[in-house]
Structure 1
Amino acid sequence: MQKFIFLSIFVLVFTLSCKDKKNYSFENNLIPKPLELNFNNGELEVKDNIYLVFTDNSVDAQRVQNFVKNFLGSVYNVSVVSEKQKDGTNIFFKIAGEGDNESYTLNIDKNGVELVSPAYNGLFLGFQTLRQLFPAELEAGEKPETVNLPYVSIKDSPRFKYRGMHMDVCRHFFGVENVKTYIDMLVMHKFNTLHMHLTDDQGWRIEIKAFPNLSTISSTRRGTVIKQNWGEYDEIPVSGMFTQDQIREIVKYAEDRFITIIPEIEMPGHALAALAAYPELGCTGGPYEVSRTWGVFDDVFCAGNEKTFEFFEKVIDEVVELFPNSPYIHVGGDECPKVRWKECPKCQQRIKDENLANEEELQSYFITRMEKYINSKGKRIIGWDEILEGGLAPDATVMSWRGTEGAVAAAKLGHDAILCPGSHCYFDHYQSEDKENEPLAICCYTSTEKVYSWEPIPDSIPVEQHKHFLGVQANLWAEYIKEFSHLQYMAFPRMTALSEVAWCTERDPDYAQFKKRLQVMFKRYDKAGYNYAKHELE
C-alpha cells in the first residue's frame, strides 16, 4: 500500500514537473528575446470567442484592433468591446505608464491576456510577442484543435529606437504586394523602419508629376548584364514604377502597422536613369542611358547647374507629400565620382563663386544646400557615410556602411548615426560558403551567426556619445535578385538574427540557444509562406 501511495505521488509530481517544463520551453521560442520573462504555473485555454478590450477608439487603437482581428479572425470569433466578457477569452489592451512608447508588458493568467504600454505602437509590438505564443498554424489561417497559452509575465523594451531594413527596387523592381509582404516580415520581427531605395542608375521607381519623362524613360532599361560578366547583356527590358497612388497605398499599409518608410532619392551620384530622361542636368549634356550594368559611374548630376537644384526641389516637394510621416528624406550622397565636375566649367565656376577648396567641398555644398531645402519642408536628411567628406551638413544623420567609422566620426561631431556596415549588414552576400550551390550574389559570405554576434557600438565609444547611435539596419541590394522569393531567401534568417541585435539590450552569448529558437521560427515562416535559407536547420 505504501509503495502504491509513493508511486502515485511520484507520478503526480512527475506530471506537474513535465507541465512546468512545457511552460518554460516557450522562452526559447521568442525572437527577439524579451528583456524580462517569467513563466508561472498554469495555462490559459483560448476559447472560440475572443474579445479585444479597448478603452478608446482612436486611430492608433483602430490600427491595433484591425491587425489583431485580421490575424486571429480567420480562426476565432473576434470582437472589439469596451469591457470584460464572460463567454470567451479576453485580451485587454491598456494605455498606461510612462517611458519608451515601444515598451510594453504582457501578462497571461486565469483572467485572460493583458497588454500594457504608454502608446499604441508599444501595444502593437507586444502583440507580436503574443502572436509567437500562439501555434504557427495561425500564420496560415489554420485552427489547431486546442490552444493553451502559458501563464507568463513579460516586461520588454527595445535597445535601439531605429530598427531598419532596406529594400532596393531599382536594380530589380518589386511591386506593391511584394513590398507589403516585406513590411509584414518586418512587423513579425519588431523592426520599425523600411528604407526604400527608389532611384539609381538602373531605374527611377517613383512617379514625379513635374517630370513625366522619369516615368516614361527613366523607369526602363533595355537589358541587364548577364551574371557577373561585364559586356554581355540579356536584352530583356526591365521596367517598373510606383504611381503616386501606389506609394500612398504602401505608406498607409506601413503606417497601419507602425512602420515608418524612409524614401531615398539619390543625389548627386547614381544619376544615369534620371539623366537619360533629362540630359541637361548632367555636366556633358549626354546622351545618357539607363544603366544595364552595376557599379559607380562618372556621369552624375551637375552641381554647377541651377536647373539641377530646381529639379531636386520639385522632386522633394512631391516626395514629402507622399511620405508625410517620415521624419527623414534619404539623399544618398554615396559613390559620387568627381571626374565630370573637374572638367565642367559650371562646376568649376560654382567652386570659385562659393569659395570652395575642391570638388569634395562642392559635394558638401550640394548636400548642405539640399538639406536646407528639405529642412524647410519639416524633414531631416540621412545620407551614406560619404556625406562626411568635404564637411558634414549641419543636421545630417549618417548611415555608416563602410564599417562603423562613419558612425563614430558623426557621433564625435554631435550628429546622429545609423549603423549598417557591409561586413555584417549587407544581406546581398552569399548565405553559405558553398557558392556553387547558392543563388548568384554580389560577393562574400555573411553567416547568420556573424550577424547575431555583431555588437554595433564599439567599446571605444564614450557613454555620452551612445545617444547618437540611433540604431541598426540591414541593406538588401538587388543587383542579382530578380524574384521576390529570392529576396526573402537572402533576408531570412539573417534578418531574424538582426532583430535580436536591434531589440535586445543583452543577447544570449550562446549562438546554439538562438539557433534552437530559430528552429521554431522556421515553422512560422513555413506557415506564413516565407522563403528562407535552410542552412541553420538542425
Structure 2
Amino acid sequence: MSYRVDFTVISKTENESRFALTLHNLTEQPVDNWSLHFTVGRWIKSESISNGSITQLGSYCTLSPNSSDHLSPNSHFYTEFSMGTSPFTLHDDGILDAFLAINTDDHTIIPRAVEVTCIDLGQPAIERLTTPLPAAKAINLIPEPNKLKVLGGEFAFTQHTAITTPDTMAQGAVRWLQSELEKQLHDALPINDNGNIHFQYHADLINGAYHLLVEQDDVWIQASTESGFVNAASSLLQLLPTAPRHDASAAYVIPMVEIEDQPYYSYRGMMLDCSRHFHSTKRIKHLLDQLARYKFNTFHWHLTDDEGWRIEIDAYPELTNIGAWRGPNEEIQPQFTTIDQRYGGFYSKAEVRDLIAYAHDRGITIIPEIDIPGHCRAAIKSLPTLLIDPNDHSVYRSIQGYSDNVLSPALEGTYTFISTILNEICDLFPAPYIHIGGDEVPKGVWTDSEGCQQLMQQHGYQNPIELQGHLLKFAEGIIQAKGKRMMGWEEVTKGDKVSKDTMIFSWQNEDAGLISAQQGYDVIMQPAQYTYLDLAQGFSADEPGVDWAGKVPLETVYSYQPFSKLSTEDPAHQRIIGTQAGLWCELINNQSRFEYMLFPRLLAIAEVCWSQPKQRNWDDFKARLKGQLSYLDKAGINYRRCE
C-alpha cells in the first residue's frame, strides 16, 4: 500500500474526545496539491483542527493542508481534532474508508487508494461476550409453538412422497415448501391426488394459526389463511434433520408430532435499510426465505434516504439516474464505505413485482418506506428545480450531518412530488400500508423561509414543527384515497396533524411507543435498545456494529417484552399490533456482515413476535437455538458464534 492513515484517541472526557490523524506517504514520490477524503460516523468540530482545514457532509470528510501541500516521500502529515462524543468503544467508530485525491483545475477527483489502520482506542481489551448453549433438544422449533405433542415414531420422505392437490389458499405455501424441500432432499416433491402431505382448509382457525399432524404415513396441515399454511410449512421444514441418515431406506425422516399453534402478535416484522448500502434482489430473497422459516410475516423495506434513492419511479427517472448513485464525481457525495468509486443501485418495478410475488408465497407482506419530509437529500439533489426553494435561507444540521435534506412545505413542487411518488408506490405495492418515515426532522428547518412563514400565518400555526404535520396530513390523504393506511416513525405525531388511523413505529425507546398507544395510536414496537440489529452484539472493541443506543447481545433481544411494566389489563397492550427487528446498513455492505449482524439474534426476535410471553424461557430457547445452528451451518449463514 502506498498511503496509510492512522487514527488514534489521544484524550477523552464524558462528552468530548480528541483524536490524532496521521497520513503517511510510503512511496518514493512526493505528493503535491493533495487532499485526504475519509468517512467517519461522528461530527468533527472543524474549528478544533490543529493543522489544515476540514469540511464534512454526512460521514464524508475532506481534509486539506493549510499552506504547504507538499508531502515528501516517506514522510507524513499530522493533525488533531475533536468530536463532541462520548468515548469510543468500538473499532467501527473509527475511520471507515479513505482515499487521497490530487486536486485538478477542473475539480475532477482522481482517487488514490489509502490503507486505513484499526483505530487505537486507548483502552484495555475486553473479553468477547459468550453465550454457552446447552445440549440441543430432540425437537428444536423456533419460535416455540403453543402446543407440541410428541407422538412417537417417524414419517419418512421416500420416492413415493407427494403433496395432495392443495386448497387454493395453500398454493403459495406449497410452492415455498417444494422449493425448500428440493434444496434439502435434492429432488422435487410432486403434487398429485394420491399424495400423503395434505393441505386442508379449516375455518375455525384464526388468521396465522395452524394445526400440524405428522403420522407414520401422512402429514396433515390445516389452516384458514395463506399465512397459516406458510407457518405450518415452516414448522414442517424445521422438523427435517440437516443431514441424511444412512441406516434406512429413507434418508430423511421427521418425528411424528401434533402441533397446535397461533401467533401472539399479528404483525411480525423485519426492517431492512437498502438506502445506505444497496442489497441485491438475491440477498433479499435469501433473507425472505429465512424470515418465512422463522414465521415473520412482514418485510419493511426502507427504500429512500439521504444516501440513495432505490426504487424506479416512472415520472421522475432522475431519482434513479442521479439519486441511486454516489461517488467522488457524482452529484451525491460518497458516504460510509466504497468511497473511491461510483457506488449504488436501484430496484426496477419488474424486480419489485418479482420480490412481492416471492414474498407472498412465503406469507410475507412487503411494506415500502418512502421517507419524508426529512432524509430526502437524494431526492432533492435529483430534482433541484422541483424541490429546492432558493429563497429558503434556514440553517440546520440533521443528526446525520446534512444541511440540505428536508422538503419545503412552502413549495408547490413538494406536493407534486409527494403526490406523484405516493400514487406510483400505492399502485405498485399491494400491501394495505405505506410507511412514510417522518423521523429526525432537525430544529432550524423552515425558520428563515418567507414562504414557510406565510404558510404558518395562513393556517394559524405557532411552531414550525406544525409544518411537518401539515405535509404528513397531505400524504395521509393521498394514501387513504388509495385505500391504504399510513405508517410512520414516532415523530409523525409531531405537529399533531395526522389522524389516529396512522400506525406508529416506536424506535427511540419503549416509552415513545407507550405514549403513542396511550394517545390512541396503534403501535409497532421497535425500540432500538432491544431490536436494532445493527447495534453491536457484545462489549469488546472488535465487535462489528454501532452502539449509540447501547450494546444488544442475544439475551437482551430475547428478554424484550413490550410494556412489561404495565398490568396485563392495561388497555395500552391492546394497541400493540406487533414488534419488529431493524437492520440499518451504514456499515453493512457485504453478505457476510449482513448475516453476522442478523443471526442468531433474528431467531430471538422471532420468538418475541410469535410465542406467548408466559411460554418464553431463556434456557429452553438456548437449547433449541443449539439445535438450529446446524441448519445455519448447512445454509452457509455467517452467524455470530455463541461460544
Q: TM-score range by the shorter chain?
A: 0.7 to 0.9
Once the two structures are TM-superposed, the CA of residue 354 in structure 1 deviates from its matched residue by 1.4
2:272 is the alignment partner of 1:167:
yes
Matches within 5 A, 1:182-331: 182-223=287-328, 224-225=334-335, 234-280=339-385, 281-284=387-390, 294-295=400-401, 297=403, 299-324=405-430, 326-331=431-436
Deviates most, 464-473 or 32-41 = 464-473
Once the two structures are TM-superposed, the CA of residue 529 in structure 1 deviates from its matched residue by 1.9
Once the two structures are TM-superposed, the CA of residue 235 in structure 1 deviates from its matched residue by 2.9
Aligned-partner Cα distance in 1 for 2:622–2:406: 45
Describe the SS at the equivalent of 2:138.
Answer: helix
Aligned-partner Cα distance in 2 for 1:507–1:524: 27
Bigger share in helix: 1
Describe the SS at the equivalent of 1:136.
Answer: coil
Q: In structure 1, what residue type is equivalent to 2:266?
A: K
The sequence identity of aligned pairs, in percent, is 34
Aligned-partner Cα distance in 2 for 1:226–1:502: 32
Aligned-partner Cα distance in 2 for 1:485–1:369: 41
Once the two structures are TM-superposed, the CA of residue 506 in structure 1 deviates from its matched residue by 3.2
Encode CA deviations 1:160-208: one digit per residue, 9 max, x unaligned. Answer: 0000001111001011111111111211110000011111000100111
Describe the SS at the equivalent of 1:339.
Answer: coil
Matches within 5 A, 1:27-106: 27=139, 29-56=140-167, 58=168, 60-74=169-183, 75=185, 76=187, 78-82=189-193, 84=194, 90-106=196-212
Once the two structures are TM-superposed, the CA of residue 225 in structure 1 deviates from its matched residue by 4.5
2:579 is the alignment partner of 1:472:
yes
Aligned-partner Cα distance in 2 for 1:283–1:337: 17
Bigger share in strand: 2
Q: In structure 1, what residue type is equivalent to 2:220?
A: E
Describe the SS at the equivalent of 1:358.
Answer: coil
Q: In structure 2, what residue type is equivalent to 1:353?
A: Q
Is the contact made by 2:173 and 2:363 (CA closer than 8 Å) also made in structure 1?
A: no
- Structure 1 residues 48 and 183, CA gap change in structure 2 (3 angstroms): same
Encode CA deviations 1:375-411: one digit per residue, 9 max, x unaligned. Answer: 0011111110011222151121100001122222222
What is the aligned partner in structure 2 of residue 496 from structure 1? 603
What is the aligned partner in structure 1 of residue 594 from structure 2? 487
What is the aligned partner in structure 2 of residue 519 from structure 1? 626
2:255 is the alignment partner of 1:150:
yes
Is the contact made by 2:156 and 2:250 (CA closer than 8 Å) also made in structure 1?
A: no
Gaps of 5+ in 1: 1-23, 228-232
Aligned-partner Cα distance in 2 for 1:328–1:495: 23
Q: In structure 2, what residue type is equivalent to 1:341?
A: W
- Structure 1 residues 441 and 42, CA gap change in structure 2 (3 angstroms): same
What is the aligned partner in structure 2 of residue 335 from structure 1? 440
Q: In structure 2, what residue type is equivalent to 1:65?
A: V
Aligned-partner Cα distance in 2 for 1:187–1:509: 20
Aligned-partner Cα distance in 2 for 1:286–1:527: 57
Once the two structures are TM-superposed, the CA of residue 251 in structure 1 deviates from its matched residue by 1.2
- Structure 1 residues 510 and 161, CA gap change in structure 2 (3 angstroms): closer
Once the two structures are TM-superposed, the CA of residue 442 in structure 1 deviates from its matched residue by 5.6
Is the contact made by 1:270 and 1:297 (CA closer than 8 Å) also made in structure 2?
A: no
Is the contact made by 1:299 and 1:340 (CA closer than 8 Å) also made in structure 2?
A: no
CA RMSD across the alignment: 2.4
Q: In structure 1, what residue type is equivalent to 2:388?
A: G
Describe the SS at the equivalent of 2:277.
Answer: coil
What is the aligned partner in structure 2 of residue 5 from structure 1? none
Once the two structures are TM-superposed, the CA of residue 209 in structure 1 deviates from its matched residue by 1.1
TM-score after normalising by structure 2: 0.72
What is the aligned partner in structure 2 of residue 454 from structure 1? 560
Is the contact made by 2:277 and 2:588 (CA closer than 8 Å) also made in structure 1?
A: yes
Aligned-partner Cα distance in 1 for 2:371–2:249: 48
What is the aligned partner in structure 1 of residue 33 from structure 2? none
Aligned-partner Cα distance in 1 for 2:355–2:166: 29
TM-score after normalising by structure 1: 0.86
Aligned-partner Cα distance in 1 for 2:629–2:392: 50
Aligned-partner Cα distance in 1 for 2:298–2:634: 24
Describe the SS at the equivalent of 2:199.
Answer: strand
Aligned-partner Cα distance in 1 for 2:535–2:228: 33
What is the aligned partner in structure 1 of residue 510 from structure 2? 404
Once the two structures are TM-superposed, the CA of residue 298 in structure 1 deviates from its matched residue by 5.3
Matches within 5 A, 1:12-27: 25-27=137-139
Describe the SS at the equivalent of 1:382.
Answer: strand
Q: In structure 1, what residue type is equivalent to 2:170?
A: A
Describe the SS at the equivalent of 2:162.
Answer: strand
- Structure 1 residues 410 and 127, CA gap change in structure 2 (3 angstroms): same
Once the two structures are TM-superposed, the CA of residue 77 in structure 1 deviates from its matched residue by 5.3
Is the contact made by 1:294 and 1:479 (CA closer than 8 Å) also made in structure 2?
A: no
Gaps of 5+ in 2: 1-135, 329-333
Q: In structure 2, what residue type is equivalent to 1:467?
A: Q
Q: In structure 2, what residue type is equivalent to 1:410?
A: S
Once the two structures are TM-superposed, the CA of residue 111 in structure 1 deviates from its matched residue by 3.7
Q: In structure 1, what residue type is equivalent to 2:255?
A: P
What is the aligned partner in structure 1 of residue 233 from structure 2? 127
- Structure 1 residues 371 and 156, CA gap change in structure 2 (3 angstroms): same
Aligned-partner Cα distance in 1 for 2:240–2:443: 56
Aligned-partner Cα distance in 2 for 1:225–1:306: 30
Once the two structures are TM-superposed, the CA of residue 440 in structure 1 deviates from its matched residue by 4.7
Is the contact made by 1:263 and 1:323 (CA closer than 8 Å) also made in structure 2?
A: yes
Pick one of 429, 434, 439 that aligns with 2:535.
Answer: 429
- Structure 1 residues 205 and 67, CA gap change in structure 2 (3 angstroms): same
Once the two structures are TM-superposed, the CA of residue 226 in structure 1 deviates from its matched residue by 5.7
Is the contact made by 2:391 and 2:450 (CA closer than 8 Å) also made in structure 1?
A: no
Once the two structures are TM-superposed, the CA of residue 72 in structure 1 deviates from its matched residue by 2.2
Aligned-partner Cα distance in 1 for 2:156–2:636: 27
Deviates most, 525-534 or 404-413 = 404-413
Q: In structure 1, what residue type is equivalent to 2:527?
A: P
Is the contact made by 2:324 and 2:346 (CA closer than 8 Å) also made in structure 1?
A: yes
Once the two structures are TM-superposed, the CA of residue 137 in structure 1 deviates from its matched residue by 3.7
Aligned length: 491
Deviates most, 259-268 or 69-78 = 69-78
Aligned-partner Cα distance in 2 for 1:475–1:124: 23
Aligned-partner Cα distance in 2 for 1:298–1:77: 54
Is the contact made by 1:427 and 1:476 (CA closer than 8 Å) also made in structure 2?
A: yes
Describe the SS at the equivalent of 1:164.
Answer: strand
Q: In structure 1, what residue type is equivalent to 2:162?
A: Y
Is the contact made by 1:173 and 1:239 (CA closer than 8 Å) also made in structure 2?
A: yes
What is the aligned partner in structure 1 of residue 474 from structure 2? 369
Aligned-partner Cα distance in 1 for 2:335–2:216: 61
Is the contact made by 2:200 and 2:220 (CA closer than 8 Å) also made in structure 1?
A: yes
- Structure 1 residues 450 and 297, CA gap change in structure 2 (3 angstroms): farther
What is the aligned partner in structure 2 of residue 381 from structure 1? 486
What is the aligned partner in structure 2 of residue 17 from structure 1? none
Is the contact made by 1:388 and 1:406 (CA closer than 8 Å) also made in structure 2?
A: no
- Structure 1 residues 408 and 297, CA gap change in structure 2 (3 angstroms): farther
Aligned-partner Cα distance in 1 for 2:468–2:590: 35
- Structure 1 residues 349 and 185, CA gap change in structure 2 (3 angstroms): same
Describe the SS at the equivalent of 1:49.
Answer: coil
